[in-house]
Chain A
């Protein structure tokens, strides 16, 4: 198909590489291709792009070296593989190679009913499963036309869980980011705090991760007794711990040296590359779907959108740290507002009958059986719904043909798009900083590869 096919055959014979997907050496590329690749590439003028390509002025094959980082490298957060072109310790080019965790989840999604779909999407971004479930449920509800009828309590529970999940995800970022930079003790602290949030999830949903708790029509179960105290204890515990993080990292000169000015991306670049979430906000653009295109009841809450000003790894770290604080502020407001009432919609089409009814009514048993075996039919149509996940805009595009399974289910994964920013952030930096840059993008490979 492509002129490079012959190369693929040769490299397949060599047996160790991915052929065309790999970063190719400069001698195989035309000048224009190199330019596109190093710019990978942005809406900039030809002159600017040419300038960029000239920075290292084609150092020549003998001075550079292409090395693999990953897919088994601990600081690639899973199975991300980066091919780096190095000149000494400087990274000239970089190409992320993904797909090592691809399990065909979008294909699987086509054979699961809308009722079962949550079990699939929740495994995509495994660090913020509730947000994936939420966006899938919201898309399904929009197709069903019941998005305005979700009971208030269910909506507030969803918001509560979504914010707690944002906290747990960012806490894990604190841990892995710390470890990547060399603050190894931070890893223990981050995991420790996250575990406390996960313990609350376990109490609510039965599972620490992959909950399948937020479902089309509401949530799977009501909050357990004493949930307010549990949330309060998390909120009481965290401020001191976050203060410790500040002492340990934010104000510490070594930490700042490692992150400030590393992996810089400009606002225009971030927008052109479609980067969202903390990456976009680190460039100074206050864009948060919770505030700018509110869904659920975020328009009733008071919170700030945290922005950076330099677009570097330190800004992205600081944004996430402060987003934990903002999420805590949101959770406090949610605590005061969760109303009593139904936790899922009383629409017989979507909601199975309660367990107790099954014992006394044959019809209820049949109804329950039908919903769980056949699922419910969703009217024909297509819809795209997006929400703000900890990593950026997570979107769900569903095309339905009127059957109980989605005809096509696509998840717009923020990490998948954000990973494209890596070559820009790394260009001209040191290999040692590459680790900091990957970490600051915070990709979740389950979501990148789906």
Chain B
């Protein structure tokens, strides 16, 4: 992402506006996440098409624009403006010690299942989510499979209800 390093850092709503392969990326601090998203809704980004996360445990030294401190987790939100026919990606850094972020449910109800999936797979909890339960894994599953330190193929298969 060397292309993200520009000479004059562009900003949008006080957040760093970067670019990755020609796509706009907005780096939003966790504190101003909801406030910024509200402004983006007013800007005409009517639809939140995707919300996911990345665990950068083994790749922490990634390229980020100056002023954005890398954290272990990153929540990635893809917004779409139907009227302007534009996309914008929002990336939020989430620390390992406090994996928590506000829920977008009140702004984009469609993120309900996506946030549950991120909670299920990464163990990031969403404050204000109406029903933060596991969605893909069984309710009593231990661990969060898409974390990089989740031992892949080295854990005993967990069966529901079986004596362990």
Give A contacts to B, CB under 8 Å.
2, 4, 8, 12, 15, 18-21, 33, 36-37, 39-43, 98-99, 102, 104, 106-107, 111, 142-143, 145, 271-276, 285, 287, 292-293, 380-384, 386, 393, 395, 397, 399, 401, 407-408, 410, 412, 416-417, 419-420, 449-450
Q: Which residue of B lies closest to A39 (CB)?
A: B109
Q: List 22 A-B contacts (CB under 8 A).
A: A2-B132, A12-B140, A12-B161, A20-B139, A21-B133, A21-B135, A39-B109, A42-B109, A99-B136, A99-B137, A292-B85, A293-B87, A380-B62, A382-B25, A384-B50, A397-B50, A397-B78, A401-B59, A401-B62, A416-B114, A416-B117, A420-B113
What residues on B are CB-neighbors of A293 within 8 Å?
85, 87
Q: Closest CB-CB distance, B108 to chain A, in whole Å?
A: 7
Instruction: State the 6 A-B residue pairs at the shortest beta-carbon distance, nearest first.
Output: A274-B110, A412-B50, A99-B136, A273-B110, A401-B59, A102-B136
Mostly helix, strand, loop or mixed at chain B's interface? Answer: loop
User: Is the Cβ of A18 less than 8 Å from the Cβ of B139?
Assistant: yes
Contact of B110 among A2, A33, A272 (CB under 8 A): A272
What residues on B are CB-neighbors of A393 within 8 Å?
49
Q: Give Cα A381 to B48, complex, Å.
A: 22
Q: Give Cα A42 to B110, complex, Å.
A: 9
Q: Closest CB-CB distance, A5 to chain B, in whole Å?
A: 10
Q: Closest CB-CB distance, B140 to chain A, in whole Å?
A: 6
User: Is the Cβ of A381 less than 8 Å from the Cβ of B111?
Assistant: no
Q: Closest CB-CB distance, B69 to chain A, in whole Å?
A: 17
* B21 sits at the interface (CB 8 A): yes
Q: Closest CB-CB distance, B102 to chain A, in whole Å?
A: 16
Known contacts A99-B135, A292-B85, A397-B78: A271-B50 contact under CB 8 Å:
no
User: Is the Cβ of B85 less than 8 Å from the Cβ of A382?
Assistant: no
What residues on A are CB-neighbors of B89 within 8 Å?
384
Q: Closest CB-CB distance, A116 to chain B, in whole Å?
A: 16
* B11 sits at the interface (CB 8 A): no
Q: Give Cα A145 to B89, complex, Å.
A: 19
Q: Which residue of A lies closest to B140 (CB)?
A: A12
* B82 sits at the interface (CB 8 A): yes
What residues on B are CB-neighbors of A43 within 8 Å?
107, 109
What residues on A are CB-neighbors of B136 within 8 Å?
98-99, 102, 449-450
User: Is the Cβ of B139 less than 8 Å from the Cβ of A410?
Assistant: no
